[in-house]
Amino acid sequence: MRIARFSDGEVPKYAVVDGPELAVLKGHPLVDGYESNGERVAIKEVKLLSPTLPSKIVCIGMNYRAHAMEIGQDVPDEPLMFFKPNTAVIGPGDHVQLPHQSNQVELEIELAVVIGKLTKNVSVADAAEHIWGYTVANDVTARDLQFSDLQWARSKGFDTFCPVGPWIETEFDPDDQVIESRVNGEVRQKASISDMNFKPLELVSYVSENVTLLPGDVIVTGSPAGISKIDSGDVVECEIEGVGTLINPVT
Ligand code: MG
């Protein structure tokens, strides 16, 4: 099942994706379940929003060996955690806005885990039942500031630096699906989810031993190699096989 959140000009609503249409839900699926309100709308007639409103985005750095190597690092012995603020989140079609503080903003496609319930000190064996589903995220990064600042908060945390969407796929099972980013139609990153060092269930467990995860929170699981600069006027497409394609213009 694919869960979208959308606006038709009124209060944002949740819906189940059904081909080119949305079957609108009565309330928030994590609170009220998946009961339809009977309304159906065409996806192209509405504005899709970020499918989740996380209290925080927990990011995992250098989780693909080829990416760690391209930035001169090795894969860490433990997952490397950092955060993006929830004010960085934008939805499908929203513009990534390049901040004047940086001359080198880059894209990082990442598989995003969306948490479904309060998650604290959960084992790897129990992690799956805490996951609502998976979506696509772009860990947009001001690469020059990442290296000049001691902390990554600024380089990763600008407004609009966390596109999320287009929906949450609740039946995705991470295996060897293709993860691919394109800029203006040209492939920039292409890898297999199986190249990930720490797997999603391990990450949910690890993160939950360090910080409490709330329903709707997001863990972005690291970027494959091929990160590259984005410029104003570009259109970035982030696609994960079996989940969907997240498209954002850059200004
Ligand atoms: Mg990243």
What confidence score (pLDDT) does residue 43 get? Answer: 97
The pLDDT value given to residue 148? 95
3-state secondary structure of 171: coil
The CA–CA distances, whole Å, from 196 to 107, 213, 226, 240 equal 18, 22, 15, 14
**Whole-prediction pTM:** 0.97
The residue extents of the domains of the chain are 2-49, 57-249
- The answer to whether the CB of 109 falls within 8 A of the CB of 196 is no
For residue range 134-161, what is the model confidence (pLDDT) as tens digits?
999 999 999 999 999 999 999 999 999 9
- Closest by alpha carbon to 2, among 90, 143, 133, 103? 133
Task: Write down the pLDDT at residue 202.
Answer: 98
Q: What is the CATH T-level fold of the domain 2-49, as seen in this structure?
A: SH3 type barrels. (2.30.30)
CA distance 57 to 59: 6
Least confidently predicted of 8-22, 63-77, 131-145, 149-163: 63-77
Centre of ligand 1 to C-alpha 211, Å, is 19
- Centre of ligand 1 to C-alpha 15, Å, is 29
CA-based end-to-end distance of the chain? 33
What band does 28 get if pLDDT is binned at 50, 70 and 90? very high
CA of 17 to the centre of ligand 1 (A): 28
pLDDT of residue 74: 85
CA 134 / ligand 1 centre spacing (Å)? 16
159 CA distance to ligand 1 middle (Å): 16
CATH number of 57-249: 3.90.850.10
Fill in the DSSP letter of residue 81: E
DSSP 190: E
Contact between 121 and 48 (Cβ < 8 Å): no
Distance 167 CA to ligand 1 centre (A): 20
Number of neighbouring beta carbons within 10 Å of residue 186: 10
Q: How far is the CA of 155 from the centre of ligand 1 (A)?
A: 11
- The per-residue pLDDT for 70 is 85
Q: Tell me how far the alpha carbon of residue 73 lies from the centroid of ligand 1, in angstroms.
A: 14
